[in-house]
Structure 1
């Protein structure tokens, strides 16, 4: 074939194509005129959405399809647009044009603005669109058939106007770069769908999967990925009403969420199939500290489990094992295991400050006890830390086991080594009653008392020494201070061996009153007793045995630290000879030469007041005087009517001479 013949054939073919294109262009303009599009498309959109629809220019091209410019779908209130698009492109099939039919197969919405409103009653401005309603059967068949099988939305913006708000505070937020696509759309079959968008604060969301049976029983199979690389930026980008309660947490770090959902949309709680939440050094401020969380949370249909989850608090790392099941049922079941090497609680707890006088609270503003809880939860947990520092106390091999069931929290065991000894505790808190009810059992063995007192009562540092052991049981109810005082009760016993009592309070006051400097540091081999608590008063009975003194005490100390005690004090012969002056000092001694000095103690723990128990001292002195004076004292009683009894006079004068009181 020569070159001229080839050129001739090419020219003929090109001419045919041009003629066909011209013919098609004429056919398209005849079949798809702008007027026909407006006449067909606008009423159908308006009827389907029950909203007023307006449209700008319409352009038709054999290659680019139908372009609808400036499409506006008004909101149902009619004040602002529900959808506003710069352009709406409609793609159509070629061959039906030869039958003067236009079959629209694809809709492309370019740069639309969608405005979603939630009203104060909880309904949305699209709620009427989701309600099922019968479509009217057209009486005249339209030349344009909307058999759409593909939908694309590009570069969209969605404004969410929440008038109901959170906590009664309305807000408006915006989602940008919205991309949506659906292909091979079928009302009865399944078809692929996708969505991508930029959320406020730089977070992104990506959804991809399939939708099925949208015309009857809609169902979905979707994979959702949400990535927020900077939570601080995310919170800053969200409306204040949304983040009001979280802004004080000063969130930082990153979060990656991946979910797989599947099922019918009418049961949203059952859609989740699996997923994971990756925590990338998430930080928050709480309780004066700023912990950081890193690790993975694995999600199931109704379960959650942690993997390599770690919390870093003030540079101290704790491993956390979390597992939850039956999360959609009642009760949900959770278990929590915490373990670590070292934990300094002093870095976590706020510093103690001087107690200021609390302002008087009017009766109308008085707080009430918390109402009973009804927790749909069963939980259990363990804590194991090798070393815990609290104030100046170091707890070694600390372990704890607890559980929560039927609104009752039970501390099965809290134990460890402390100050050269060991301790253990168990407790129970009933959260199902108003004000809660609680009980506890606590015991310790071989604990050095000075270390315990120094940490828990710094003002009494250096006042008690020795190896301490005790058991105690407490019970009560209420969370308010007055309720605790009124309802707290308990009992227990204690024993301190090979110790001493000193300090600027009680012992200094006792030594000063008895004028016995040796008692300013009172050493003992054993100091033991029992105590009880009831009605905001602690009753105490104790006995101290030492080489310089033996003291039996009984009485009460109230919650205001006020004393009402009796001391049966016996001083060694050496101290008695120095403290008791004069010949009558021997009348206040027992058969072994120990001085017998019954005392009363009032005032407060910090500032005690000592006085002689005249009744007990008088009884003892009368016995001694009776032995020495015999009938001489009592003979003088006769004929002295109306005067003070001679033994009482002698007692008063003797006590003054003995103690200089």
Structure 2
């Protein structure tokens, strides 16, 4: 009886139903298919690169570039990878210089990466989606005559294939001379950590580092965004960003809504870069009013276009253009000062107004000799800051009878006006006019721009207020003119830091002074104004 009960209470055996077998079989099939696909992908990743002829770059593309540039091009390794994205990497890319510069490498890059579409690659076609250039270096050399090591590239065109080009029916076959590089510009391009070295024989080389460029959605049909930045010695990071539009038939880039950021300045830029396939033609301009004069002068001083020891602050108008072929650029700057504060250690301090125009063409020689321009400036309510010149002025005012207080006033000015031109390494001051409570000065002269040296002729006439006191001085009687004014003709020459002040003998002779009187006064002034 117990046995029968045990038999009845035993748990029933769980057997799979016939309908469950088809589901399990389907899962296994999916797993096997998935596993096979993974194995296929792995095989593709490892086997496809072996069947792609990468030597085509060296056998076909490089000779075309070499023929176009007339320069030797070398590539270290060419590798194909499919992960994380399909791409071809060219390492140790070099473009050697022309025979005139046998020891120089014109261009080098650590790596050039061409990111490709996978399925066209499997069919044997190269469709580039992104161009990435890592750590490129360009070495520019300038000869004493102003020519560059890329001057021989003028007129040469790199024959890139046109994007979406269609072959005409019954078109004659192209000759070998018209061969093109079968690569169109991709939609995305990047340059990482580039460097531009600029060297002029006999001068210290200049390096522009950290060059980065990002270009997105490149197209000839609509504007596309970009951003470029670099570091220049003595300045904060400089950046230029906005939109570009490209005209393929004219190889021209037009700038739209561009902003240049440099040294706390944010300036609008417009213009174009044309003839990009040969020697680029530059036509760029920026204009802003008002801008901070302090930041503008900081930038100009780095390039040797403004004195480093002069502090300036306040609003000004700025207009700048860069025009011409890339091997013969000309930079023009026009500044409009609006009562800005100036404090120069070697000249003056006061409130400055007026306009200055300068032009710097690219060429041989130093910046100071190539600099051209003109200006008309007025400084108000200021004083001279050249310590040595101040002492000498105060000495002579004391000798002609002015008090110490009047001597101090003689180194100040109510207004100081000047008109000048720049050319050939000289600043030619056609007019200098100074008015203060004690005197009025008129004259002109020149100053060398490199290691500033003065050659000035100034006539100082005492004011009516000072004349009543100075007229009683013994020395003053020598300088009275026909109108009873005390007029002292001076010649200021020598280094700007410590100029020599002497009587202007030519003007004394014109006044009819005797030679003995001239010699006596000359020795007197030499002792009075000797360099100390």
Q: CA deviation at 1:483?
A: 11
CA contact (8 A) 2:456 2:493 kept: no
Matched, 1:226 2:185: no
Structure 1 equivalent of residue 197 of structure 2: 159
CA contact (8 A) 2:194 2:212 kept: yes
Q: CA deviation at 1:91?
A: 1.0
1:211 to 1:346, Cα distance in 2 relative to 1, 3 A: same
Structure 2 equivalent of residue 336 of structure 1: 377
Structure 2 equivalent of residue 502 of structure 1: none
1:11 to 1:451, Cα distance in 2 relative to 1, 3 A: farther
Matched, 1:146 2:183: yes
CA contact (8 A) 1:474 1:489 kept: no
- How many residue pairs are counted as aligned between the two chains? 409
| C-alpha distance in 2 between matches for 1:265 and 1:143 | 21
| Alignment deviations for residues 398-433 of structure 1 (CA, whole Å, 9 cap, x no partner) | 34566679x99456x755544xxxx6x5757699xx
Larger Rg: 1
CA contact (8 A) 2:349 2:384 kept: no
In structure 1, list runs of 5 or more residues that go unmatched: 164-168, 228-254, 356-387, 491-532, 539-556, 563-603, 605-661
CA contact (8 A) 2:69 2:158 kept: no
SS of 1:34 mapped into structure 2 = coil
CA contact (8 A) 1:443 1:470 kept: no
* Partner residue of 1:391 out of 407, 410, 429: 407
Structure 1 equivalent of residue 54 of structure 2: 34
* Partner residue of 1:81 out of 97, 105, 121: 105
Matched, 1:322 2:337: no
Structure 1 equivalent of residue 286 of structure 2: 273
1:277 to 1:20, Cα distance in 2 relative to 1, 3 A: farther
SS of 2:108 mapped into structure 1 = strand
* Partner residue of 1:49 out of 66, 69, 76: 69
* Partner residue of 1:299 out of 295, 318, 327: 318
1:403 to 1:145, Cα distance in 2 relative to 1, 3 A: closer
| C-alpha distance in 2 between matches for 1:46 and 1:198 | 31
CA contact (8 A) 2:136 2:193 kept: yes
CA contact (8 A) 2:191 2:212 kept: yes
| C-alpha distance in 2 between matches for 1:75 and 1:196 | 26
From the two aligned structures, give the one with the greater strand fraction: 1
Structure 1 equivalent of residue 114 of structure 2: 90
Structure 1 equivalent of residue 519 of structure 2: 560
Q: TM-score, normalization: structure 2?
A: 0.58
Q: TM-score, normalization: structure 1?
A: 0.48
SS of 1:300 mapped into structure 2 = strand
Q: CA deviation at 1:56?
A: 2.7
Matched, 1:262 2:271: yes
SS of 1:262 mapped into structure 2 = strand
SS of 1:470 mapped into structure 2 = coil
| C-alpha distance in 1 between matches for 2:140 and 2:420 | 43
| C-alpha distance in 1 between matches for 2:66 and 2:385 | 66
| Alignment deviations for residues 146-193 of structure 1 (CA, whole Å, 9 cap, x no partner) | 123233221223333323xxxxx2443333222233444557976544
| C-alpha distance in 2 between matches for 1:274 and 1:325 | 14
1:393-472 equivalences under 5 Å are 393=409, 398-399=414-415, 409=430, 415=435, 417-418=437-438, 425=440, 427=442, 442=461, 444-445=463-464, 447=466, 449-450=468-469, 470-471=484-485
| C-alpha distance in 2 between matches for 1:268 and 1:41 | 26
1:188 to 1:335, Cα distance in 2 relative to 1, 3 A: farther
Q: CA deviation at 1:195?
A: 2.8
| C-alpha distance in 1 between matches for 2:282 and 2:181 | 41
| C-alpha distance in 1 between matches for 2:458 and 2:232 | 50
Structure 1 equivalent of residue 238 of structure 2: 205
1:445 to 1:219, Cα distance in 2 relative to 1, 3 A: same
Q: CA deviation at 1:477?
A: 11
1:561 to 1:44, Cα distance in 2 relative to 1, 3 A: closer
1:38 to 1:195, Cα distance in 2 relative to 1, 3 A: same
| C-alpha distance in 2 between matches for 1:400 and 1:87 | 59
| C-alpha distance in 1 between matches for 2:509 and 2:181 | 86
1:395 to 1:124, Cα distance in 2 relative to 1, 3 A: closer
Root-mean-square deviation over aligned CA pairs = 5.5
1:126 to 1:12, Cα distance in 2 relative to 1, 3 A: farther
Structure 2 equivalent of residue 659 of structure 1: none
SS of 1:102 mapped into structure 2 = coil
Higher RCO (CA 8 Å, separation ≥ 6 residues): 2
Matched, 1:66 2:88: yes
